[in-house]
């Protein structure tokens, strides 16, 4: 019973620390969603061979798309003329970070990691994009639009046009964002609570004291794992509290959201097997490099990269209210996830019809 209480207390503490920041991040993500259209991205990502790579990385950083929901968007960009390098760059920077994940990183891991994380995502994306651009435009095969649509995992894709921009905003924040991030974030908080309550305080200092070994372990754990950028943050924060060095935590935060089987297979089908191998290899190498650089920087400058570094910024009543709102939001999202497990004959047809005719921002393609 005491263990369950400890787990619940740990989860409650993280909800309190992160609530206001996560809700604020979700609202900011909704604004990005309704203000940045796919047509705008296509115009800016289909230009120069190398400049579009940097643009794709910068555009992808704030976008609130996880590593699964980013795939149909990347497919549409590629189909409308985005270069191979820009496509790869967008596929990496978008799921690795976003305004929502930056907010929760700030809340749970402090300002240093909140700045380093999107910067490292940009470096990874630009490196992979430039390497892909050097290979030229050959290889790969068109990805069937039906396959791209199936990668969207909301109950009906909810891409049908709605009457107003604010309607799209609230639909995205309350439904699509919740479907994409809510269950994963709830699971991340539960896992973080388990780590905080059950994991010994000396596990990393005794068994993974070497920073290179700990980064390698986090790389192996993160590569096959499907976890969105926001949901990975509570778990990384809990591991840092238990003694994991910040570089290894950064490796996990970069690799986990950007690599999973669906993404790698899709990259292979769109751009070729060599591009898929380069995609995974670049993420792994650059993540290790960024992790090592963060460890060196933290050691040299005595930087504080710890969980809960910003909890004292907000008054306690505000933090408690934010935690309650986030808890209700996550319960709502998990309830929708459970409801969607029941098969409905019309869901697949609705998804196919909506994805075929809409670009995800209320604009018909």
Domain range summary for the chain, segments of one domain joined by +: 2-357
What is the Cα–Cα distance from 198 to 174, expressed in whole angstroms? 33
What confidence score (pLDDT) does residue 159 get?
A: 45
Taking a C-beta distance cutoff of 8 angstroms, is the pair 128, 283 a contact?
yes
What is the Cα–Cα distance from 83 to 150, expressed in whole angstroms? 23
What is the Cα–Cα distance from 185 to 231, expressed in whole angstroms? 4
CA quadruple 350, 353, 358, 364: dihedral sign: negative
What is the Cα–Cα distance from 336 to 340, expressed in whole angstroms? 6
DSSP state of 144: P
What confidence score (pLDDT) does residue 230 get?
A: 79
What confidence score (pLDDT) does residue 166 get?
A: 80
What confidence score (pLDDT) does residue 174 get?
A: 84
CA distances from 309 to 74, 82, 306 (A): 35, 40, 6
Helices and strands, number each (H, E), in the chain? 17, 0
Alpha carbon 13 to its chain centroid, in Å, reads: 22
At how many degrees (to 10) do helices 177-198 and 229-241 cross?
10
pLDDT digits (tens, 9 = 90+) for 79-114: 767 788 888 998 899 888 888 888 888 888 888 899
What confidence score (pLDDT) does residue 151 get?
A: 44
What confidence score (pLDDT) does residue 65 get?
A: 73
What confidence score (pLDDT) does residue 129 get?
A: 92
What confidence score (pLDDT) does residue 138 get?
A: 52
What confidence score (pLDDT) does residue 312 get?
A: 57
| Torsion angle of C-alpha atoms 194, 332, 151, 167, degrees rounded to 10 | -140
Pick out the chain residues at pLDDT < 70: 1, 38, 41-42, 44, 46-49, 67-69, 80, 136-163, 305-313, 343-365
pLDDT digits (tens, 9 = 90+) for 5-54: 888 888 888 888 878 888 887 888 788 778 777 677 667 676 556 788 88
């Amino acid at each position: 019973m005491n263990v369950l209480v400890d787990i619940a207390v740990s989860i409650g503490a993280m909800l309190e620390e992160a609530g206001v920041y996560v809700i604020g991040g979700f609202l900011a993500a909704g604004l990005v969603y309704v203000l940045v259209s796919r047509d705008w991205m296509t115009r800016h990502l289909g230009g120069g061979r190398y400049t579009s790579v940097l643009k794709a990385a910068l555009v992808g950083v704030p976008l609130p798309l996880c590593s699964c929901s980013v795939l149909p968007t990347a497919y549409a960009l590629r189909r409308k003329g985005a270069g191979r390098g820009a496509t790869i760059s967008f596929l990496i920077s978008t799921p690795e970070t976003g305004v929502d994940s930056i907010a929760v990183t700030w809340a749970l891991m402090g300002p240093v990691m909140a700045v380093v994380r999107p910067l490292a995502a940009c470096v990874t994306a630009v490196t992979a994009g430039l390497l892909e651009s050097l290979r030229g435009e050959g290889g790969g095969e068109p990805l069937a639009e039906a396959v791209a649509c199936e990668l969207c995992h909301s109950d009906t894709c909810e891409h049908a046009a709605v009457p107003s921009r604010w309607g799209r905003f609230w639909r995205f924040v309350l439904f699509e964002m919740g479907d994409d991030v809510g269950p994963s974030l709830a699971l991340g908080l539960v896992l973080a609570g388990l780590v905080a309550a059950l994991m010994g305080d000396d596990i990393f200092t005794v068994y993974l004291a070497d920073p290179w070994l700990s980064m390698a372990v986090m790389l192996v754990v993160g590569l096959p794992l499907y976890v969105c950028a926001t949901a990975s943050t509570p778990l990384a924060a809990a591991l840092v509290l238990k003694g994991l060095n910040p570089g290894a935590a950064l490796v996990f935060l970069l690799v986990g959201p950007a690599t999973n089987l669906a993404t790698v297979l899709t990259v292979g089908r769109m751009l070729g097997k060599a591009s898929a191998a380069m995609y995974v290899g670049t993420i792994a190498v650059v993540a290790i490099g960024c992790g090592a650089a963060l460890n060196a920087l933290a050691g040299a400058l005595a930087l504080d990269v710890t969980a809960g570094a910003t909890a004292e910024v907000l008054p306690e009543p505000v933090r408690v209210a934010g935690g309650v709102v986030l808890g209700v939001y996550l319960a709502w999202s998990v309830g929708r996830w459970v409801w969607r497990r029941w098969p409905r004959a019309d869901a697949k047809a609705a998804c196919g019809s909506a994805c075929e005719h809409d670009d995800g921002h209320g604009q018909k393609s």
